[in-house]
Amino acid sequence: MDKIQTLRILVVSQKGGVGKSTLSANLAAWYSEYSNRNTVLVDLDPHGSSSSWIKNARDCGVFHEHFVANSFSERRWLIDSRNKIRKHFGKFETLVCDLTWTAAMDPEFMHEFDLVIVPSSVSSIELNATMKFLDSIKWVFEARAGIPPTLLICPSRVLDDQLTQDPFSKENFLMPFLLLPPILDDPEIRTLFKEKFIFDFHRPSASAFLKCASSVQQAGDLHKKMNSKTRLKFSDRRVLDTNNTKLSRYMSQKTVKPLSETSKNNYKSYFRPKKPRIINKKISSLMKMLSSSIVQK
Ligand SMILES: Nc1ncnc2c1ncn2[C@@H]1O[C@H](COP(=O)(O)OP(=O)(O)O)[C@@H](O)[C@H]1O
Ligand SMILES: [Mg+2]
């Protein structure tokens, strides 16, 4: 029997309260019920909100697991967390992983995934923090060896008046990404915790969520299609395992110093040439388009 190709999705950000666990739990439930995929949720967050949501809510058929790796070293954390998720590869069609990022984690972990979703509020201050976070891990999306994950930014907990703003034109994101349709801020979502799912009710936030979830699915299909010819060779895996870890330690140093010529030469070979930056105008009009389609609902 052919092994199942698991679509691996990581929902991650360094900030709490942006809606990672809400998105993880609901996305996993959506994949299971709407998309009819055999789905596992791996909750790597100490709070365990997404797994306890799935565990206690009405049965949606999602297999769930809560695991907090010992993070006394980046390497230890990486090995333990990676083992935890790798055992599901080939067994489930979709894997959703919920994670709050800390400096004690090794960004190499992100190479386990096809899609990395970063939810972010759209206020300037929040977008700035998201930008800084992405900047510290941007090498992940530019790594030469292996297949880098596709980065998806998800405007999260978006308020009505923010739908008409155009926040992505003001900020400069330095790496290529896809912008997801926004998740709306809706106080009703709080009442669903451990009970139901966002798509269980008929509200604008539910239709916005459905759009977001199907965009994630499309991005997953696109990622698979684009990389279907690239096989992750064992030698590539070794390059990722040995070199990116050194690199990630280098990059995660607290004080960001300009690269010296020697270190530039050391690390240069693992980077792809810079891709052209996504033009802000395009993002703005996309954001407007998405926003207006939701406002019309
Ligand atoms: N779209 C939303 N609208 C309103 N409240 C939300 C929304 N998403 C999450 N929340 C609430 O915000 C709080 C934090 O959400 P959570 O998903 O736990 O964030 P994180 O996992 O990023 O810390 C929770 O109380 C949750 O109910
Ligand atoms: Mg959480």
Note the pLDDT tens digit of each residue in 48-57.
999 999 999 9
Q: From the CA of 86, how far away is ligand 1's center (Å)?
A: 28
Cβ(84)–Cβ(42) under 8 Å?
yes
Residues 6 or more apart whose Cβ sits within 8 Å of residue 282? none
- DSSP codes joined into one string, 28-74: HHHHHHTS---EEEEE-STT-HHHHHHHHSS----EEEE-----SSH
Residue closest by Cα to atom 26 of ligand 1? 190
Q: From the CA of 210, how far away is ligand 2's center (Å)?
A: 20
Backbone phi, psi, residue 143, to 5°: -60, 140
Burial string for 58-77 (b: 16+ CB within 10 Å, else e) reads: eebebbbbbbebebeebeeb
What's the CATH number where 80 sits?
A: 3.40.50.300
| Range in 95-99, 118-122, 141-145, 216-220 with the lowest mean pLDDT | 141-145
Whether the predicted pLDDT of 291 surpasses 60:
no
Residue closest by Cα to atom 9 of ligand 1? 19
What's the pLDDT tens digit per position in 56-84?
999 999 999 999 987 778 889 999 999 99
Amino acid at 16: G
User: CB within 6 Å of ligand 1 — which residues?
Assistant: 16-22, 49, 157, 183, 185-187, 189-190, 193
How many structural domains is the chain composed of?
Answer: 1
In a domain, 2, yes or no: no
In a domain, 258, yes or no: yes
Residues 6 or more apart whose Cβ sits within 8 Å of residue 183? 19, 22, 23, 119, 154, 155, 156, 157, 158, 205, 208, 209, 212
Q: Which residue's structure tokens are 């969520």?
A: 209
In a domain, 198, yes or no: yes
Instruction: Compare 257 and 28 and report the one with higher pLDDT.
Output: 28
- Residue 276's domain spans which residues? 7-295
In a domain, 234, yes or no: yes
Whether the predicted pLDDT of 278 surpasses 50:
no
Confidence of residue 105 (pLDDT cuts 50, 70, 90): very high
- CA 106 – CA 85 distance, rounded (Å): 15
